[in-house]
Every structure is written in C-alpha cells, then in structure tokens.
Amino acid sequence: MSTQGYEDELRSERGYLAGLYTRLDAERARVRGAYTAALKGTGGTPMERDAEVRALAKEGKRLDVADNGLCFGRLDSLSGERSYIGRIGLFDEENEYEPVLLDWRAPASRAFYVATGANPENMRRRRQFHTRGRHVVDFTDEVLGRPNGAAQGDAALLAAVNAPRGEGLRDIVATIQAEQDQIIRLDHPGVLVIEGGPGTGKTVVALHRVAYLLYTQRERMERHGVLVVGPNPAFLNHIGRVLPSLGESDVVFMTPGDLVPGLRVTAEDTPEAARLKGSLKILDVLAAAVADRQRLPEEPLPIQLKDVPVRIDAATAEWARDEARASGLPHNEARAVFTEIVTYVLTERAIARIGRGWLTRSDREAWEELRADLLKELAEDEQFAAALDELWPILTPETVLAPLYTSPERLRAAGADQALLRADGEAWTVSDVPLLDELVDLLGRDKAADKAVALAAERERKAEAEYAAGVMDILVDRQDSMDDEDHLYATDLLYGEDLADRFVERDTRDLVERAAADRDWTYRHVVVDEAQELSEMDWRVLMRRCPGRSFTVVGDLAQRRSVAGATSWGAMLEPYVPGRWVYRSLTVNYRTPAEIMTVAAAVLAEFAPGVQPPESVRACGVQPWSRRVTSGELSAAIEDFVREEAGREGTSVVIGPPGVPGTVTASETKGLEFDAVLVVDPEQILTTGPRGAAELYVALTRATQRLGVLHQGPLPQSLTGLVDLGAPAQAGNSR
C-alpha cells in the first residue's frame, strides 16, 4: 500500500470507528433513559421493577467498559466482505439489525484469532487497529493465504508484551493467539485443565474463557454466577479488572481462605500440619472428633421431676446414641433422635413408679395424659436440658476444631497426629477452611434454633404487614371523606400499595454479594488458579460449590510449593470427574524475556529435569545480573534498586526469604508480574521449606524486563549464568 493509500485508508477507518462510537453513545443514552424511567416507574410489582433496574444497570456497565478499545480489528474475506471485531456487538437497527461490530466471542470472530498464512480460514486480510482513547492512531495488515508472504500480525502482540506493566492484569482481547483461542472456545462441559509455565498467559486465558462461556451460555450461567479462586488477595486484586473490562460482572473472587463466609484466617500451619490437614485421611479424624462429643455418663445423671426422680444411666444413653448414629442424620439433627429415646425411657420409668398400684397399660387415656404431663415437664426442666448438652451437645464447626487442636487427649481420641496441636485453637489457618466446611455437613443444622429464628421473623413480618394495612385503611378513609373535586389521585393509593409491598422482605443484594455471604451457594462454573497448591480437602470444598462439575483449572505442577498440593492432575480430579476432564497446555512464554528465562530454566532443570520450560516469544536486550554483598551492605543495595526503579515507568518488587526487611516472599507474588525484580539471598530461598527450588523458580520468572540478584553467600550453581556486577560501586553504571 502506498503512503497516500495508507493515509486514505486510515481516514476511512477513523470515520467508521467514529460511527461506531456514535452508535455506542446513542445506545448508552437509551439505556440510561430507561434506567431513570425504571427508577421512577410504577408499573408492575416492586420485585419486577427491581429486576428491571438491575438488568439496565448491568447493561449500562457493559456499555461503559466498551468505550476503551471498542473496535480493535477487521477481517476481509475472500468474497470481499468486511467484519469489524470489538469488545461488544453493535447492530444497525435500520438495516434488519445487521452487525456493524462483531463481539470478539461470536463464532464469526474466531478467524480473527486463528487464521494464518497457511490456513487463512477463507480470509484475505486481518487488520489490527492501534487506538488511543477513541482515536485510531494507526493500523497494521496481515495478508493471509500467502505462507511465505509479508506478515505483521505480531506487531500488536509484541507492543502489548513489551509495554510497561501498570496496576493489574490487562485483558488480551485484541491479541489472543491461536493456541489460546482454541482453549478459550473449547466446548467441554466438564473440567478443563490449562497447564503452562510462567508467562504463558494461562490465567488471562482462563478469564477470557469465563467471558466466552457467559456469552455463549448466559441464560444457564448468569443466575448462579461464576467463582474465581486465586492464591491470595494481591493476586485477586491483580486479575480483578479483566472480566469487568470484558463487560462481565457476575463473578465472585475468593481465596481458599474465603470459602467459609465470615471466617478470618490469621495464622499459618507448619508444612507437616498442612500436609495432615490436606489429606483425605483427616475425614476419619473429623468423624471421630464429632463422635467423641457424643458421650455416655460415667455416673447416672439425676433428673428431679415434680413427682418422682429419674436418672439417665449409661445403658440408656448408649441405646439412644446407637439409634441416633444409625439414623444417618448429621450430628445436630440426630440430637432429636437421641432426645426422643432418652425421653421415652425416662417417661416410661416415671410412669411405672408414679402409677405403681393403680395405673395399668389398659388404662390408655390416663397413661397418655400422664405421659403428656411428663413430656412437658422434661421439656422445661433445666437439669434435663443440661444433661442433653453434656451427652449430645449442639456443635458448630468451630466448637469441634478449636478444642481438638488444643487438647492432646482429644487428638488421641480422634486418632489424630499430635503435630496438629497448637496453643490457640481459634487462630485459623487456610488449611482449616476445608475442615470447617466439612464439619458444616457432618454437624448439620440446629433445627430448634432455626425454628425459633423463623418464628421471630414471621412475627415481625406480621406486625409490619398490619402496620402497612393500617396505612392503607387511613388512605381509603381519606378518599371516602373527600369531595369529588378534592379527590385523592390513584398514584397516592399506589403509594400505599408500594408501602405494603415494602414490608415484604426482599433480598436487594446483587448476585456477588449474596453468593459471597452464602456457604451453600452453588456456581455454574468455577475457575481455580494456582491449582497445583490445592490439597485433596480443598478440592472437596470446591466440588460442593459446583455440583455440575464445570471447572477451568489453571496451574503449573513445577511451581508447586505446598506439600499438600497436587503431584498429578489425575490424582486430584479422577475421584470427582472420572473421564470428564481434559488437559491442554500452553507452551509460549509471553511475559518472561529469553534472557531471564534462560536463567530460570537452569533452576527448573535441577528440581524438575523432565519439565520443558516455555519458549519465550521475545528478548529484551538486558542481561540478568548478580552482585555479592555483605550483611551490612544488603539494606543499602535494596534501597538503591528501589530508588532506581522508582524513576522508571512500570512496576518493581523485591523478593527474598521470609523475614528479610524490605522484601516479600515468592509465594506472595505468585501469578503476578513486574517490569523489574530483585531477588535477595537465593541460597536461603532454596533451603527454606521442602519446595525451596520451586520458590526460587517462581521468584525468577516474575520479571518482564529486568532481573537482578543480591547474594551474601556463594551463588547457587544453577545461577552462575548471571552477569556478575562485582562490587556495589559498579552497579550504577551497569544496569
């Protein structure tokens, strides 16, 4: 294309995209108008109006996020048809709703991502726009169908991966690569495992897959939403903008420590404790710990009734316990069976003693009357209530685990390892979360307490409804007393109806708020990132959250640091989805430049020699460096790095072993990326914990441009490929 031809084409494209923004603005104005009208509207029920307002608010958000990068490409077919590709779909209402912009998830957009010179997908050209705000800066063309012809399709990709990192992960909707697109659009109803080394984009691919599933299966998925589980809050904050930028908001983000609502994780387990808690063998411990609280009295427990004393002896309690356990009900619900048996025995004994000499079984009416009196007396007897609480207490997950962890005797009774013993039983760890969640099902509900709450709520609702009815009566009386010319408008009466409706309790929280607060909420799809860290017990929690077993699992077994984590995907998934999980791998490293990946690959080869490192798509031209410092020089060297990087565009981080001032651990940076990374004391990282080599591998692969290493002892053999900067004074001229 000649220079003049390019300029003419650029003007034409700018005009077309300006027209798209005009349509977007008009649609946005229409939705805002409808939203305002819905807020003021009186038609339909309040619940229907609430639903309409929420739907319009969601549509408004979708249109707002489309403003940035609305259209990023064009496809020209062999037949001469043009299709523009963008974040959302727009249509020409005056021309039978012809698409003027295709949503990137639409089937017709697929060729934009997968067409190549050798396999053009019936396309002649792919055009990629470079925009700034609403302005088209320039474009690049890739001519398809010519395997040996010119191709500039990598220009947008390289510009994206070389750009300085900002706050948070960015979407890749304009630069999705063919291997990524195949995974995003994969039609598989079960579990999809996406494995890839550092920088392969597995996280962002999984998030785009969520956006694709919400687009293609919106009716099925939207009502229950999607759960995204990540390793820590920093990671969730890092990825939290991707789905909103794609117009999707019905997504709940959690760490494994958030899966039990209201629980605060404040402590960390030893590796051995984490291993024990993560194993399915802990299920036997939990069951035994609950059974240990179902006690038999060492001495008979006296109950002083009005007319006769009775006792709960060991034989009675054992019969009641056996019947309660045989019922198959959870512990708290089985208490009713236990209570029924004990009550039966006590009333039979009391009747026999009270009626001795005058009451026979044939006198059924007198017998039943006496039984009813005794039942009422037992129900109100404090001694009886205390005895039940001693023998079969109402338990919560916390009241089972906390005493277990602080008592060597309880641990022995439950068959648990003493490595679980700790001083503060309620200092919860991430590994406690699946145990507490399991206990919710083992214990069941306290139905008596639930009934009391329900009755109180019903009384409150009746009182509020009576008040609303009174308001309506006053309005009607006022209407009857008015003259014809001084009448009450219908809207006033409608207000009265609305007032009554407002006293009907409705949950006005959005889906994300409701799902996050509800332990029993189930999702249509779950994304699990850094999934190699999850234990067998963690997977039980997640499978409860998604009965349909629709998962996107993201991870890299080579980066596993948890001793309770996965050593193979099949071992974790086959028990839950036998034959219903598929595996896909990503092999291209878009984050880590070749210079840094060479260093990281040497570490990988030492602890996972059979794993092939991902191939970097680019080089940065900057060699990773190392410098040996004394303990007295370390703090100043870290400060020098921080000060130097503060003057550059982009992000940076200092990673070290636990306890080194001014650093974070490698586990705290999992899934994150930074323009520059300084790794401190790699020799200590290697020797800290059973998976130290994996920690060091993670630390080295966070950088997108620059990597430095400070070491006090000898440099580990695997890192000898770093450029040695020598004395600290040389550092300022060498980076």
Is 396 annotated as belonging to a binding site? no
Half-sphere exposure of 402 (CA within 13 A, CB side): 10
Q: Which amino acid is at 162?
A: N
Report helix, strand or coil for 46: helix
Q: Is the distance from CB of 136 to CB of 17 less than 8 angstroms? A: yes
664-688: buried (b, 16+ CB within 10 Å) or exposed (e) per residue? Answer: bbbbbbbbbbbbbbbbbbbbbbbeb
Q: Is the distance from CB of 235 to CB of 522 less than 8 angstroms? A: no
What are 61's two structure tokens? Answer: 């958000």
Strands 251-254 and 301-304: unpaired
Q: Is the distance from CB of 349 to CB of 273 less than 8 angstroms? A: no
Residue 135 backbone zone (phi > 0: left; psi -120 to 50: alpha; other: beta): beta
Report helix, strand or coil for 195: strand
Task: Tell me how far apart the alpha carbons of residues 413 and 292 are, in angstroms, rounded to a whole number.
Answer: 7
Is 197 annotated as belonging to a binding site? yes
374: Cα separation from own chain's centroid: 53
Phi then psi dihedrals of residue 301, to 5 deg: -95, 120
Residue 575 CB contacts under 8 Å (≥ 6 apart), including other chains: none
Residue 275 CB contacts under 8 Å (≥ 6 apart), including other chains: 563, 564
Residue 171 CB contacts under 8 Å (≥ 6 apart), including other chains: 204, 207, 208, 242, 245, 246
Instruction: Show contacts of 492-499: CB within 8 Å, 24+ apart.
Output: 494/42, 496/471, 496/472, 497/472, 498/42, 498/46, 499/468, 499/471, 499/472
Q: Is the distance from CB of 599 to CB of 616 less than 8 angstroms? A: no
> What is the side-by-side order of every strand in the sheet holding 703-711?
652-655, 674-680, 703-711, 625-628, 723-724
Is 300 annotated as belonging to a binding site? no
Residue 588 CB contacts under 8 Å (≥ 6 apart), including other chains: 177, 179, 200, 614, 615, 617
Task: Tell me how far apart the alpha carbons of residues 144 and 127 are, in angstroms, rounded to a whole number.
Answer: 10
In order of 160, 195, 489, the CA distances from 486 in angstroms are 70, 75, 9
H helices of 392-528, in order, are 397-406, 408-413, 432-443, 447-481, 490-502, 511-517
In angstroms and rounded to an integer, the radius of gyration of the C-alpha atoms of the chain is 34
Is 665 annotated as belonging to a binding site? no
- Helices (H), strands (E): how many in the chain? 27, 21
252-290: buried (b, 16+ CB within 10 Å) or exposed (e) per residue? Answer: bbbbbbbbbeebebeeebebebbbbbbeeebeebbbebb
Is 662 annotated as belonging to a binding site? no
In sequence order, the β-bridge partners of residue 515 are none
Alpha-carbon dihedral 669, 674, 678, 684, rounded to 10 degrees: 20
Is 196 annotated as belonging to a binding site? yes
Task: Tell me how far apart the alpha carbons of residues 245 and 513 are, in angstroms, rounded to a whole number.
Answer: 20
Structure letter (DSSP) for residue 705: E
Alpha-carbon dihedral 562, 564, 568, 574, rounded to 10 degrees: -140
Structure letter (DSSP) for residue 561: -
What are 239's two structure tokens? Answer: 């990825």
In order of 312, 341, 637, the CA distances from 345 in angstroms are 9, 6, 78
Is 15 annotated as belonging to a binding site? no
Is 198 annotated as belonging to a binding site? yes
Burial class (CB in 10 A: 0-12, 13-18, 19+), 86: buried
Binding residues for ATP: 196-203
Residues making up the annotated binding site are 196-203
